[in-house]
Structure 1
Amino acid sequence: MIMASSLLSAVPGLRHAFFTCEGGVSEGVYTSLNGGLGSNDDQAKIAENRRRMAEQLGVSPEYFLNAHQIHSPDVVVAEGPWNGSRPKADAIVTRTEGLAIGITAADCGPVLFADPAARVIGSAHAGWKGALTGVLESTIEAMEKLGAQRGGIVAAMGPMIRQRSYEVGSEFVERFLDADAENARFFLPGERDGHAMFDLAGFIRMRLESAGVLMIDDLGVDTYSDPRCFSYRRSVHRKEADYGRHVHAIALEPE
């Protein structure tokens, strides 16, 4: 049902989980632990799946938080359950105990953060667009405003689409090269002319290291090829009508 980071697991007073697609009640393309509030799955089944995930992290469902993700560099600070609709953002940070802050993903890069000394945590949805426009740096800066020190932050990269599965077109490559010619190192030639294979995980790691976060764990799991994972790209290739979403979350236990 879950995958875990060895680095984050070693931090006292912290719970986290990179949830797989296993252990839920959804059916069909959503089998079975679909946590995507934006999917077309039965809402009652999504609620039960999210209840199970919240329980795993030791919180009640209303304290199991996701933002309304928009592939942005935007971050929101959580101090309690959302008051009304979910805020639009792609990262959440908090120093409030008993809150599980998470992101949803189905190929994009989930990154969970913790500063054990400051007891500040964060979660970021780092697809290619968010990673390129600064969601990781924004998350680190927001954590610093809550008292974290970037040199003390531990980051864990969860299941995401890996280079061997991530073919992109020339316009995609040009966007990254226009931002920085050094980004060429994250692309290998694709099997089709004019295409390349993109290393999202390598790009995320580089952005974290450049921002001063050096304690980084990468689970190394490829969502496209691993049957324990939902994958947007795999669902498109199979011509499925929709796809399930993972939730990956982190919480501070009360001291």
Structure 2
Amino acid sequence: MDSVDVVRARVLKGVRHGFLGRGGGVSQGEVAGLNVGLGAGDDPAAVAENRRRARVAVAPEAQLVTLYQVHSAECIVVTSPWNDADRPRADAIVTDRPGLLLGILTADCAPVLLADPDAGVIGAAHAGWKGAIGGVVQATVAAMEQLGAQRSRIRAAIGPSIAQGSYEVDDAFRDRFCAKDPQNGAYFAGGKPGHWHFDLEGFVASQLAASGVEAAESLHLDTYGAPQRFYSFRRSCHRNEASYGRQISLISLD
């Protein structure tokens, strides 16, 4: 059996966390590997086993808590675990309770893991373009602050996501960002006529900086360009595949 692929960020050293790939799972077919997505059309038993393996790889004794992600800027404070069927609709989660393993699912969007170890507060955010422009990063930092974290002490890492060279968008997409702030144009590189390449990871990093998070690390791992290692929604669409898997990013307090 292949081992679970866990990437850890230097900036979160000393904090139990991991950005997981698709290696080491039991799913088959188009979602082969460590698919943890409940909505991927996968065998529920395989997804449950993959989630168990993911948890064991990062924090074996903790209870996994995930969300029903909707590409929003909503952040939830969790004090006790819920059943998968009762997952709240949100895209970020924070806690100050040991024993909880916060999980964010992605397949091109940017997973962000955050921690203020001194305060004993952690967070995890799902930052697709909608959530990122909507303020999910800022909402996560604010929620952590309400639990006692200090922005100046928060450390954050941006995990595997679609790279700029793989993320082609149209004029309307870019216009939406520039209407919000003309300086957002810096995150778009020119492509074929009427199209651009969007730097999602760079934009999310800018949102962390704007939120007062000075210690941030981008892992620069392209989900689209590494089909053996990561799931990618856009790659799946380009290949006309019927389904796509989701990888998970995890963080827990000791």
Give the TM interval when normalised to the shorter protein: over 0.9
- Once the two structures are TM-superposed, the CA of residue 56 in structure 1 deviates from its matched residue by 1.4
Separation in structure 2 between the aligned mates of residue 175 and residue 29 of structure 1, nearest angstrom: 33
Q: Where do 1:33-112 residues align within 5 Å?
A: 33-59=34-60, 63-82=63-82, 85-112=86-113
1:224 aligns with 2:224: yes
- Once the two structures are TM-superposed, the CA of residue 57 in structure 1 deviates from its matched residue by 2.1
Q: Deviations over 1:118-163 (max 9, x none)?
A: 0100000000000000000000000001000000000000000010
1:214 aligns with 2:214: yes
Number of positions where the alignment pairs a residue of Structure 1 with one of Structure 2 = 248
Separation in structure 2 between the aligned mates of residue 167 and residue 53 of structure 1, nearest angstrom: 31
Q: Where do 1:69-218 residues align within 5 Å?
A: 69-82=69-82, 85-190=86-191, 192-218=192-218
Report the AA paired with residue 211 of structure 2.
A
Query: Equivalent residue for 2:19?
Result: 18
Contact 1:54 1:100 in 2 (8 A): yes
Report the AA paired with residue 11 of structure 2.
L
The 3-state SS of whatever aligns with 1:224 is coil
Separation in structure 2 between the aligned mates of residue 210 and residue 200 of structure 1, nearest angstrom: 15
Contact 1:176 1:183 in 2 (8 A): yes
- Once the two structures are TM-superposed, the CA of residue 252 in structure 1 deviates from its matched residue by 0.6
1:31 aligns with 2:32: yes
- Once the two structures are TM-superposed, the CA of residue 245 in structure 1 deviates from its matched residue by 0.1
Contact 1:59 1:98 in 2 (8 A): no
Query: Equivalent residue for 2:7?
Result: 3
Report the AA paired with residue 3 of structure 1.
V
- Once the two structures are TM-superposed, the CA of residue 178 in structure 1 deviates from its matched residue by 0.8
Separation in structure 1 between the aligned mates of residue 189 and residue 16 of structure 2, nearest angstrom: 37
* Consecutive unaligned residues in structure 1, runs of 5 or more: none
Contact 1:18 1:249 in 2 (8 A): yes
- Alignment identity in percent? 48
Contact 1:69 1:88 in 2 (8 A): yes
Report the AA paired with residue 148 of structure 2.
G
Separation in structure 1 between the aligned mates of residue 171 and residue 123 of structure 2, nearest angstrom: 33
Separation in structure 2 between the aligned mates of residue 149 and residue 96 of structure 1, nearest angstrom: 17
Query: Equivalent residue for 2:245?
Result: 244
The 3-state SS of whatever aligns with 1:100 is strand
Q: Deviations over 1:15-53 (max 9, x none)?
A: 101000000000111111000112100101000000111
Separation in structure 2 between the aligned mates of residue 218 and residue 185 of structure 1, nearest angstrom: 17
The 3-state SS of whatever aligns with 2:86 is coil
Report the AA paired with residue 206 of structure 2.
M
Report the AA paired with residue 91 of structure 1.
A
| CA-atom RMSD in angstroms | 1.1
Q: Deviations over 1:196-240 (max 9, x none)?
A: 000001101111101100101111100000131100000000000
Report the AA paired with residue 239 of structure 1.
N
Report the AA paired with residue 77 of structure 2.
V
- Once the two structures are TM-superposed, the CA of residue 60 in structure 1 deviates from its matched residue by 5.1
Contact 1:111 1:156 in 2 (8 A): yes
Separation in structure 1 between the aligned mates of residue 57 and residue 95 of structure 2, nearest angstrom: 19
The 3-state SS of whatever aligns with 1:47 is helix
Q: TM-score, normalised by structure 1?
A: 0.95
Report the AA paired with residue 9 of structure 2.
S
Runs of 4+ deviating beyond 4 Å = none
Contact 1:18 1:248 in 2 (8 A): yes
Contact 2:114 2:122 in 1 (8 A): yes
